[in-house]
């Protein structure tokens, strides 16, 4: 295996998900508070979504045909439509009872906010 090309992102990429039907790779950039969108057929970044939060590991859902990305500082996940590469929804996820910013405390139970 060898590196054939490097693509510059906002700061430091730290997670990705592949949306196969769209030939796109969504790359989370936690420090850059961004999600880079790579067209894998062209081997180039075709867009960057910027957020007011650090971004966590994205996931592609092949049933919903959407990309979900964790907006860590806001306890929200954003939904990206791979057809348009636009954010089409934001949903709060709440926190666990007894959870500190660094993790869950003893006896914590999840609370999910419903929208």
Long-range contact pairs involving 5-12 (C-beta distance under 8 Å, separation at least 24): 5/43, 7/36, 7/38, 7/43, 7/44, 7/45, 8/45, 9/34, 9/36, 9/45, 9/48, 10/34, 10/36, 10/48, 10/50
Domain that holds residue 24: 15-92
C-alpha Rg value of the chain to the nearest Å: 15
pLDDT at position 41:
96
Indicate whether 97 belongs to any domain: no
Indicate whether 113 belongs to any domain: no
pLDDT at position 10:
79
Q: Say if residue 99's pLDDT is above 60.
A: no
pLDDT at position 98:
58
Torsion of CA 33, 39, 42, 46, to 10 degrees: -50
Q: Say if residue 23's pLDDT is above 60.
A: yes
pLDDT at position 96:
60
Indicate whether 102 belongs to any domain: no
Indicate whether 9 belongs to any domain: no
Indicate whether 26 belongs to any domain: yes
Indicate whether 1 belongs to any domain: no
pLDDT tens digits for 31-67? 999 999 999 999 999 999 999 999 999 999 999 999 9
Residue 48's domain is classified under what CATH number?
2.40.10.480
- Domain tally for the chain? 1
């Amino acid at each position: 295996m060898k590196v054939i090309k490097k693509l510059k992102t906002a700061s430091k990429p730290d997670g990705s998900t592949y949306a196969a039907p769209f030939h796109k790779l969504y790359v989370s950039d936690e420090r850059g508070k961004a999600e880079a969108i790579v067209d894998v057929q062209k081997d180039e970044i075709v867009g960057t979504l910027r957020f007011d939060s650090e971004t966590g590991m994205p996931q592609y859902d092949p049933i919903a045909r959407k990309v979900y990305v964790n907006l860590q500082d806001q306890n929200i996940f954003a939904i990206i439509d791979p057809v348009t590469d636009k954010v089409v929804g934001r949903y709060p996820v709440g926190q666990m009872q007894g959870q500190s910013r660094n993790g869950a405390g003893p006896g914590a139970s999840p609370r999910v906010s419903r929208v």
